Structure 1
Amino acid sequence: MCGILFIAQHDPTRIPARLAERALDRQRWRGPDAQRLVTLDEGRIHLGHNRLAIMDPTPRADQPMVSRNGRYSIVFNGEIYNFRALQQRHGLQLQTGSDTEVLLEGFAARGEAFIDELEGMFAFVIHDSHSGRWLAARDALGIKPLYLHRSRELAVLASEPATVAALVGDAPDLQSLQEWKLLRRPVPGRSFFAEVREVLPGQLVRSAGSQRRFWRLEQHNDRFSDNGFEELLHSVVREHETSDVRNTALLSGGIDSAVIVAMSQVQRTYSVGLAEANEFDAAADTAQALQRDLVQVTLGADALVQRWCDLTKLRGEPLSLPNEALIHAACSAMAPDEKVVLTGEGADELMFGYDGLYRWALQAPRFDPNAFLQRYGYAADVAPTGRFTDWLLELTEGRSAIDAVEDFFFSFHLPGLLRRMDFASMAASKEARVPFADRRLVDYCYRAPAAEKISATESKIPLRRALARRQLTGPLNRRKIGFSTLAHPAVHRHDEYRRFQTHVLKELAWS
């Protein structure tokens, strides 16, 4: 996992190499193991990379990387979990043991069609020195961030929107700020800056301006079964453990992380919480049952606020959620050689874990946007923007309430959580991997009958059965709090979120 930067400009003096290097420095925290900038075409092209070395951590796998034929250059962030299978399938000749080279040589051999075969998390830009063209792509579910500024004379892509905004002199987008106050993130396709766009999950963008979706939410499976799901999940978890460094995992007292740890081979896990509110006893119970080590990381109230401020300054835009500070604290406590951390994001979307909203949708005669936002929103006194309302109506048009809510959580909520996890882990120079957020699992579970996932009393039924089969019943009977920043249960989430926002906005000095 890394940070990437790509600049294509008609005027080579507009963003000289020294400014591109400064932009790379701005996101050095995304990849402290190596940093390099390559300039091509007399200064019209800059490719920059910050590397967190995971696969083949030797300098030979540093980026930007050039294809064997000398035609293509790549900057890549993420992991391709099926890279060894792709190498064998296409007979690729390699000089490194990295997934970066498989991606690059596979593209050189097969072009865009190779992207459709990738299983993993990724954001990358490939430049063709023969034609001068470039293309960029982002993984199906939006695990890895990718942001773009484009005009007739200039294109800038990077892992961090603040990096792009600083290069092009962009200002904060006040509509995005309003959306953040209510929904914790901007509307899909936007960033917190007026002229910086989010490359959407599953989207490929070309230098000429055209684009295509190489993956979208569609029903691929009409024969869901517990056994089929569990077998696929187990395979995906093991695939996500592929690395040349030590792996670990986050462990709360709940179901999702317990399933991931149970199916993995990690030996040391981490739990984090406030001194006044945590799940340490529950996490310790799960760790003991699974015979894994557990490290408990405690954050005081003052330290929580200070970490909000420090992380906001580092990111250069609003944090997504208050518990980014807790995730960052846990990742910061990990050993230097523990670079990969497995987490449970995506389980609630796959298995209808937000049970109150899903049960409301199952009983609703139709999808009512206002009623939904009253239940989902994080502020009672902030109205949705017009562009968000338009986006939501387009997403949910013609759908039943339950289908609309399922699509909303995959299209809006999950990418926001993944952005939180990516930043909070990368700020501590760790690579978070999210096995539940795998397109094969989504393809398997999407539009499965609701009764397979949720009942009147339980949600995430297949995950519960998977734990019961392993005789791990502790997480099944606990009230979930996760890595919560609520020190007192009586505090309403709106009040806590408003307190969090106040500190974030004060640090940013945004209106």
Structure 2
Amino acid sequence: MCGFAGAFQPARPIDEAAGTRLARAMAAPILHRGPDDEGVVVVPEAGFLAGFRRLAIVDLSPAGHQPMTSRDGRLTILFNGEIYNREALAAALPDRGAVLRGHSDTEAMLEHIACFGLEATLAELIGMFAIALFDHRERRLTLVRDRLGIKPLYWSRCTGRPGGPALLFASQPKCLHGHPAFEPSIDEAAMAQYLRYGYVPAPASIYRGVHKLRPGHLLTMDAGGAIRERCWWTLDAIRHDAASAPDDDALLDGFAGLLDDAIARRMVADVPLGAFLSGGIDSSLTVARMQHLSDRPIATFTIGFTDRRYDESAAARAVARHLGTDHTHLTLEPTDALSLVPDLAEWFDEPFADSSMLPTLLVSRLARKDVTVSLSGDGGDELFGGYTRYDDVERLWSRTASIPPGIRRLAASVLGTLPDPWLRALDRLPTPRALRLDERRRRLVALLGGRPRLLMRDIVSHWRDPSSLMPGVVEPLPPAWAADGEERPSPGALGDTLQRCDIATYLPDDILTKVDRASMAVGLEARVPLLDHRLVEMVWRARPDQRRRAGTTKWLLGRLLDRDFPRTFFDRPKQGFSLPIDDWLRGALRPWAEELLSRDALDRLPMLDAGRVRRAWDEHRTGRADRRFELFNILMLSAWNQRWGTRVATSPARAV
């Protein structure tokens, strides 16, 4: 894994020496992503430049150096990620006269593109990737992101510069600060989204005019400066076919074989390799299959907590003993978290408020002492319906199914007149905090008005009404959340709809962002076999009840676990990878919180209602209410603002 950054200004040739300095300046902030090597490419007459940082995993020789140019001299590639079917790509090349110089996946992919074209190669790729591909002959830049959004890629079109528009691109947004065309300004609408979700959903970013390239998308800028973006892979194209769906046993056998293949491919590396082990279903299954495929004990790593409400380390140790892994465990103390918080905004260079980034950073640091690659079980919850919120929303949805549509719409429109006891009926909804009447009203409107996505959005929200913190700001819906149609989905179809929302937003913009930034902070490559696109497509073509069945989440994974573990191993409630941030904010992290929520700190965020923030903090620190989610959002926003803060965008900026 690596990182890159660059710029393309086709109407403005660039001096080679100046371009080299600029490319290095843009790539310098991501040294941690690639400590083993650096590279620069400058094409003066085309106005193209890029810098690269390399973490060497496969083919540690200079033959894997990037940026890399094809044998025919036409294409130059910058590639962050890993391709796991390198041998198949390479095998197709001799018939076209291509001879590889090394055994890197970068070279095999690049020459395959040169021989067969980008579209044909993308269809063949098994892996995770963010790619910048420059065509010297056409003077065209193409940016590509993998199907599920495992690897990050940002871009911005900057106008108003001498010589016409420039396209800036980078693995992380902090690289953009190194280019003189970048004029950072906070996007208030994106900030409102952040306050709700704890992350900024794609395609937005915290900066006005800076975009995340969405998973499964590619973007081109041609010699005339025209930009085009399109989708090259989408889960929406994968549909269940009842006529061809396999029965349970056939699906189980097919999935087991493909999972072993996905894991085996991800165990190939020229450096030491291990796995994260939480003791939950996803990581335990991943490690079990790894150990089955290995002739030596797999190195496994676990973070535990002194607070038993959050600690799964005993379960992880039991799994490790059962499988015979070489297990390393670290108990996380509040002081460990305090030592990390000053650097969080450096690694997470957009505001990010998933507090599990703290244990993820620590387990990555723990693993990096012994290995350079670590497999994880991420993606299992989203792919196999592991979150109870899917069942909760379906259950509520089914209760209103018998109400005639006209009556539902009428009830939604006059909901403001309903008495409070009606609204208190929504107390059954799962939530970490008691619902106020306005929150009950909002959920009833979503239920009766046929907006299931908005109902789930409300359930997962940190600040449920960002406009109350940012008066006058209009919060846009992410594309996946905005797709509620006129037709009211059946409860069975609703579960799929909600999973698709999570796979399109929460998975890439929270879970995978967290793993990428935390692992890359210490130069560790994290691999996610459950998100092999072949597995995703197989599961999505199966019947919905083969993912979630009769209230049992992860039914298919549970059946596979029965092959490696006694059933009693996992007879316990699901625990997320979370931590007692509520207590820590009142204890070890309180001085940090007081500083970031001080009058001076909040004055630097003038778009926020500081009085409301301070009231939430007073309620939390005195124990009158649990405001951990809302407050951690503001804390990470304030920390980010101290490190990267800039002016708020109130008028059009140059980056559009």
- Normalising TM by the smaller chain, what interval? over 0.9
The residue number in structure 1 matching 2:229 is 211
Aligned-residue offset at 1:500: 2.4
1:239–1:389 Cα change, 3 Å: closer
Cα shift at 1:131: 2.2
Is 2:318 the counterpart of 1:292?
no
The answer to whether structure 1 residue 274 and structure 2 residue 275 are counterparts is no
Query: How far, CA to CA, are the matches of 1:301 and 1:396 in structure 2?
Result: 46
Q: Is the 8 A contact 1:123 1:139 kept in 2?
A: yes
Cross-structure match for 1:108: 114
- Tell me if structure 1 keeps the 8 A contact 2:453–2:484: no
Distance change in 2, residues 1:396/1:141 (3 Å): farther
- Give me the whole-angstrom Cα distance separating, in 2, the residues matched to 1:397 and 1:77: 41
TM-aligned CA distance change 1:488 to 1:480, over 3 Å: farther
Shift of 1:60: 2.2
Mark the CA change 1:66 to 1:423 in structure 2 (over 3 Å): closer, same or farther. Answer: same
Q: Which residue is 1:387 aligned to?
A: 476
The correspondence of residues 81-230 of structure 1 with structure 2, limited to 5 A, is 81-91=84-94, 92-112=98-118, 113-151=120-158, 152-167=164-179, 168-208=182-222, 209-217=227-235, 218-219=237-238, 222=241, 223-224=245-246, 225-230=251-256
Mean Cα displacement is larger for which, 261-270 or 308-317? 308-317
Secondary structure in 2 aligned to 1:93?
coil
Note the residue ranges of structure 2 that are not aligned, 5 or more in a row.
159-163, 402-449, 468-472, 586-619, 649-656
Taking a change above 3 Å as real, the CA distance of residues 390 and 8 of structure 1, as seen in their structure-2 partners, is closer
**In structure 2, do the counterparts of structure 1 residues 340 and 494 end up closer, same or farther at CA, with 3 Å as the change threshold?**
farther
Q: CA deviation at 1:412?
A: 1.0
Question: What's the counterpart of residue 356 of structure 1?
Answer: 389
Task: Specify the structure having the higher radius of gyration (Cα).
Answer: 2
Alpha-carbon distance between aligned partners in 2 of 1:232 and 1:129, rounded to the nearest angstrom: 39
Q: Match of 1:7?
A: 7
Residue 182 of structure 1 contacts residue 382 of structure 1 at CA under 8 Å; is this kept in 2?
A: yes
Higher mean alpha-carbon deviation, 394-403 vs 495-504, is at: 394-403
Which letter maps to 2:137?
H
Q: What does 1:338-487 correspond to in 2, within 5 Å?
A: 338-361=371-394, 364=397, 365=401, 367-382=451-466, 386-388=475-477, 392-394=481-483, 398=487, 400-416=493-509, 417-446=511-540, 448-486=542-580
Deviates more, 1:196-205 or 1:10-19: 10-19
CA distance in 1, matches of 2:361, 2:518: 5
1:106-133 deviation line (CA, Å, top 9, x unaligned): 1111112222211110001111222221
CA distance in 1, matches of 2:583, 2:573: 12
Deviations 1:220-245 (A, max 9, x none): 55314222222222211111212111
Matched residues in 2 for 1:369 and 1:359: separation?
Answer: 13
| Matching residue's letter, 1:132 | R
Give the letter for the 2:117 counterpart: G
| Structure 2 counterpart of 1:433, one-letter code | R
Moved more, 128-137 or 284-293: 128-137
Return closer, same or farther for 1:141/1:320 CA change in 2, 3 Å cut-off: farther
Report if aligned partners of 1:202, 1:215 keep a CA contact under 8 Å in 2.
Answer: yes
Shift of 1:188: 2.1
Q: 1:258 to 1:452 in 2, by over 3 A?
A: same
- Compared CA separation, residues 300 and 483, structure 1 to 2 (3 A): same
Amino acid at match of 1:273: G
Structure 1 residue 286: Cα displacement: 0.5
Output the CA distance in 2 between the equivalents of 1:233 and 1:494.
Answer: 41
Using the TM superposition, give the Cα deviation of residue 469 of structure 1 relative to its aligned residue in structure 2, in angstroms. Answer: 1.7
- The CA deviation string for residues 289-318 of structure 1, in whole angstroms up to 9 with x for no partner, is 111021112222133144133021233321
**2-structure distance, mates of 1:249, 1:390:** 34
CA contact (8 A) 2:147 2:216 kept: yes
Distance 1:129 1:318, change over 3 A: same
Q: Structure 1's 316 and 414: CA in aligned 2 closer, same or farther, altered over 3 A?
A: closer
Does the 8 Å CA contact 2:539/2:547 hold for their aligned counterparts? no
**445-454 vs 70-79, which moves further:** 445-454
CA distance in 2, matches of 1:79, 1:26: 22
1:248 equivalenced with 2:274 (yes/no): yes
Q: For residues 419-459 of structure 1, give each alpha carbon's deviation from its aligned partner in whole angstroms, at most 9, with x where no partner exists.
A: 11111111111111111112111111115333222234421
Structure 1 residue 136: Cα displacement? 1.5
Could you tell me the percent identity over the aligned residues?
Answer: 30
- d(CA) in 2 for partners of 1:70, 1:372: 51
Letter in 2 for 1:187: P
The TM-score with structure 2 as length reference comes to 0.73
Amino acid corresponding to residue 635 of structure 2 in structure 1: H
- Partners of 2:131 and 2:545 in 1: CA distance: 39
Work out the CA distance in 2 between the residues paired with 1:503 and 1:490.
13
Moved more, 117-126 or 328-337: 328-337
2:32 corresponds to 1:29: yes
TM-fit CA distance, 1:344: 1.0
Contact 2:6/2:26 (<8 A) preserved? no
Which whole-Å deviations, capped at 9, do the CAs of 1:23-55 have from their partners, x for residues lacking one? 211111111111122212258211211000001
Q: Secondary structure at the match of 1:455?
A: coil
Segments of structure 1 that go 5 or more residues without pairing to the other structure are none
Aligned to 2:44: 41
The residue identity in structure 2 corresponding to 1:341 is: S
Secondary structure of 2:372 counterpart: strand
Partner of 2:616: none
- Paired AA for residue 173 in structure 1: D
- Report the count of equivalent residues: 511
Flag the 1:285–1:396 CA change in 2: closer, same or farther, 3 A.
farther
CA RMSD, 1 decimal: 2.6
What is the CA-CA distance between 1:259 and the residue it aligns to?
Answer: 0.5
Taking structure 1 as the reference length, the TM-score comes to 0.93
Distance 1:130 1:488, change over 3 A: closer
**For residues 419 and 385 of structure 1, what CA distance do their matches in structure 2 show?**
25
Deviates more, 1:394-403 or 1:156-165: 394-403
In structure 2, how many angstroms separate the alpha carbons of the residues matched to 1:175 and 1:283? 41
d(CA) in 1 for partners of 2:115, 2:374: 33
SS at match of 1:297: strand
CA drift of 1:335 comes to 4.3
Look up the match of 1:238: 264
Partner Cα separation in structure 2 for residue 53 and residue 210 of structure 1: 32
Amino acid at match of 1:210: R
Q: How many angstroms does 1:65 deviate by? A: 0.8
Whole-angstrom distance in 2 between the partners of 1:373 and 1:436: 25
> Which stretch has the larger CA shift, 116-125 or 352-361?
352-361
